[in-house]
Chains A and B, each alone.
Chain A
Amino acid sequence: MLKYMRKYWIFAVLAAAFMIAEVTVDMIQPRLMADIVDNGILGLNGDGTPDLALIRSVGIKMILIVLAGGLFGMLSGTMANLCSQNFGNTIRKKCFDRIMHLSFEQTDAFTTGSLITRVTNDVSQVERLVQQLVRGFIRCLMFMVVGTITLMSLNVHFLVIIACAFPLVLLDIGFILWKTNPLFTLLQGRIDGLNSVIQENINGTRVVKAFIQEDREAARFDAANTSLVDTQLRVLILMSFLRPIMNIVLNLATVALIWVGAIQVQAGGMQPGEVMAAVTYISQILNGMMMLAMIFQTLARGRASAKRIRQVLDADPVIKDGTLDEESLRALYADSESDGSADSADGLATGTAAIAADYQPTGSVTFKKVSFTYPASGANPGAPIEVLSGVDLEVRPGETLAVIGPTGCGKTSLVNLIPRFYDATEGTVEVDGVDVRDFKLQTLRSKVAFVTQKNELFSTTIIDNIAIGRPGATEDEIHKAAQTAQAEDFILQQPDGYDTAVAEGGMSLSGGQRQRISIARALLKNAEILIFDDSTSALDLKTEAALYQALKKNYPGMTKIVIAQRIATARKADRIAVVDSGRIDAVGTHQELMETSAVYRDICASQERKSPQKGGAA
């Protein structure tokens, strides 16, 4: 993490330098003040009458020096801020960039609430740490070192007092830090917990209200809140011992100093004025120690946060980029078109040519002996269960394939493998005749338009939500996509039409409306392969039928993979794949499956029982 500091170290050095200058002024200034008092006001060096001329000249000097000190102080603060906040900004950006490129299993493991805390709260803690280190550390070190040296130069006997006090203070700091250190990691974890409860409740407010779960949720929140406050209190109470104990030690050192000083004066080895000076220095050392205690407090918390940030920064995306990008594929394809052999592709590594030997950008998808197990994670503890096993399936270019099967049979997991949201545990998935792992992720994902099960809309306008599909699309293209998705009618009825703002998560729209906007977005992408993950479930049969008809007419070349719950949806497809407990049970048309697949017949029977009137009408 320190490498991100490299760009800003100059600010840190300047901040420290200005801090040294400020402390120096702080140390000179009491001398001038003493000069004013002793020689000016009291006239101790002269005849005992005030010396106005001296007060004026020294006074002007003092004002100038104080102004310089103030300036140094401000400059030191400015530099420290430039250093710490720019450093914080760099980590924050790196952190978010990393989060955005993590694989799903990793984001799942971190949980959204924790990621939010890490990007904001933890980064602030680290910023504070850098700031304190750059300014405070130098300051208290100077006070302590200079104070100790001058103190000892006054009389070596004081060394004994310091030698006794120092270890006690260090012991105090050490003990408290040893006790609090583990608590800080726990504390940030508690913030995560609270964040998660709040986040779930706010994002899922409709569900909470619909099931009148407010009291239960308030109790859950209360538990998270209490455990956070308890942990914080434990830290604060431990910390509250730090200062008083230190105070006692250092104040007793003052008493001891006076005692030793008195003995020395009595013996004639010291002047009373030197005892007074010694008391000044020990209070300076005391100040330095206090600051040190504060810095250690920040250090402990900052370290816990830094560790959490490092966990994000060090997370290596599980899904690795391949090598084939659009350019190399295009060259390869053009070549193989012209002379019928991919091997002769000039200018391309032979490895690339070999990998992409069968490349045909037509939108075919092939599963070859694919097995898949969800990786164990925080969100998915316990023994891993195989979700897909030995799946063989071929989706032909341009065809519409429906995927049907009971809940939890692995339908979504199956399509998740196509754009590499996850990687198959065994076997290969091929798109356009090439293993998906050989594509660059961006290239692969540009070939696939995916409408997720949970319709994910962003808090911007409807048109911007659709435009995400293909940034740079024309208004006509957007309208065509919306019309095909059967979305234009209701969009135009919204208060601002296409410019109507969508609430976060699309909550201001109905389920069916959200689905249609998501579909419009996917259509706008105009990719080779279109995947609907149960994306028309909230539409009535009439709208759904119109949608598929328009789809066929307006986007004929696309390969369409449609996960469906309803037989009525599935039977419109060219072929239907029946998935049952992670295996492909059968593939065929509705008629074929009615004869060959018992699972399919079961699904049909259960749906007809549930809605006899619809079944009868069809």
Chain B
Amino acid sequence: MSYVKKRFAAAGGASGSAANTAAPQGFGRRRNMGAPTEKPKDGGKTLRRLLSYFASHRTAVILLFFVVTATVLLRIAAPAYLSRAIDAITMRTFDKLPQILLIMITLYVTSSACNLLEEYLGAKLSQKIVKGMRADLFRKTIDLPVGYLDTHSHGDLISRMTNDAENISNVVSSSLTSLFSGLLTLVGTVAIMLSYSWQLTLLSCSVIIFSVLFTRFLSRYIRKLYVKRQCLLGALNGIVNEKVTNYKTVTAYNQQDSVVDDFNGTSNELTRTGILSEILSSSMGPVMNMLNNVSFVVVAVSLLSSSTPSSSPARSTNWRSCTGRSRRRWRVPSASSRSWTPPPRTRAARCTWTPPRASSNSST
């Protein structure tokens, strides 16, 4: 038995089929040097370090926060005027309309301006942070003892500075603003909900808590897959770096095919991990949507079971806001909508979804 063959048999598993063929290849196994699992030893420390990058751009962060607050407020205000406009049409008070529409135009234009400023600041901040992060990483790398570089794949280190840093950049630019506005919207919504009914708030919150728990459960698993995915990407980088750098030897010893086999193995594994992690994370959206809609029905049913019929219409006017839905939805006309006759005015006003502030006005 040939030497390499024996070692292949001992290694078992992964390259089992290769071991059966006549000439196992020299590059078959890549020794996994360094720690295989790249879990941060101290999650809190990692977070603190990440936050310190934000801290060094404090003014930009604060500015961004104000702009986001403004955008969120404007975003909440605009629909209120929209429903006023609809009310004006329904109640045939057309003379009010020009004024409302003018306010709407002003709100839309300023909110777009704020939105622009928000995206501009977000982009600048994210790039500054990523630049600093990459520079620190590089400085650290060249200052590392030689022994560290000897025992770690060079391609993997390169991958960290480019692929991983870019991921952080994407997250910072896309998530920072949505995190801000999400938090603000959440706080606002909860406050508004509380002002209507604490029972319903509790019910809605239980849905929210359930979805948070579900997300946590799922994301723990997804995170593991993502870490594995980035590691495999690093390994792939390592293979390309090493084999292209040593291309002359690879060619001289006719090793191209075995190198390609090795690469394909890692690439396939990367794809498997990638598909799994993406399927799970792209399922989060539909699952959340489902939860959201189910909670809608649950709240609607419990609302009616808990309240006496006589008092329900007045309360239920605002029940949609109790489900915590951030997306506004008006009635979608059914097939019979064309023949729909306007109900008594007060009802019609209630029928439209109206943010709380506006609703108190229109019901007067």
Contact = CB atoms under 8 A, between A and B. Distances in A.
Interface of A: 22, 27, 29-31, 33-38, 40-42, 44, 48-50, 52, 55-56, 59, 62-63, 66-67, 69-74, 77-78, 80-82, 85-86, 88-89, 92-93, 96-97, 99-101, 104, 107, 112, 115-117, 119-121, 124, 191, 194-195, 198-199, 201-203, 205-206, 208-209, 214, 217-218, 221-222, 225-226, 229, 232-233, 236-237, 239-241, 243-245, 247-248, 251-252, 254-255, 258-259, 261-262, 265-266, 271-277, 279-280, 283, 419, 421, 442, 445-446, 448-450, 452, 454, 456-461, 463-465, 467-469, 471-475, 478, 501, 503-505, 507-508, 518, 521, 525
A451 to B, nearest CB: 9
B225 interface: no
A215 to B, nearest CB: 10
Contacts of B330: 34, 276-277, 279-280
A247 B88 CA distance: 24
Contacts of A468: 26-27, 249, 253, 255
B51 interface: no
A237 B343 contact: no
A441 to B, nearest CB: 8
Given A44-B351, A445-B251, 12 more contacts: A41-B313, A72-B286, A74-B287, A80-B282, A225-B135, A237-B123, A272-B89, A464-B7, A472-B4, A501-B151, A505-B246, A518-B249
B191 interface: no
Secondary structure type dominating chain B contacts: helix
Contacts of B282: 74, 77-78, 80-81
A42 B108 contact: no
Nearest to A209: B146
Contacts of B126: 236
A42 B275 contact: no
B187 interface: no
B173 A236 contact: yes
Q: Which of A69, A229, A445, A452 has the most CB of B within 10 A?
A: A229
Given A33-B296, A467-B4, A92 B267 contact: yes
4 smallest beta-carbon distances between A and B, as pairs: A73-B286, A503-B150, A240-B119, A77-B282
B227 interface: no
B113 A59 contact: no
A461 B31 contact: yes
A419 B31 contact: no
A424 B240 CA distance: 28
A50 B312 CA distance: 8
A501 B33 CA distance: 9
B355 interface: no
Given A217-B142, A471-B25, A38 B304 contact: no
Contacts of B111: 247
Contacts of A503: 149-151
Contacts of A86: 271, 275
Given A37-B351, A243-B119, A261 B242 contact: no
Interface string B307-338: 00100110010011000000011111110011
Contacts of B249: 450, 452, 456, 468, 518
B278 interface: yes
A151 B97 CA distance: 22
21 contacts: A50-B316, A71-B286, A77-B279, A77-B286, A88-B271, A89-B270, A89-B271, A116-B244, A120-B237, A199-B154, A202-B149, A202-B154, A208-B142, A221-B135, A229-B128, A265-B92, A446-B254, A454-B248, A461-B31, A463-B3, A469-B26
Contact of B3 (A116, A247, A274, A475): A475
A62 B82 CA distance: 28
A89 B268 contact: yes
A217 B142 CA distance: 9
B205 interface: no
A115 B244 contact: yes
A86 B82 CA distance: 46
Contacts of A266: 92, 94
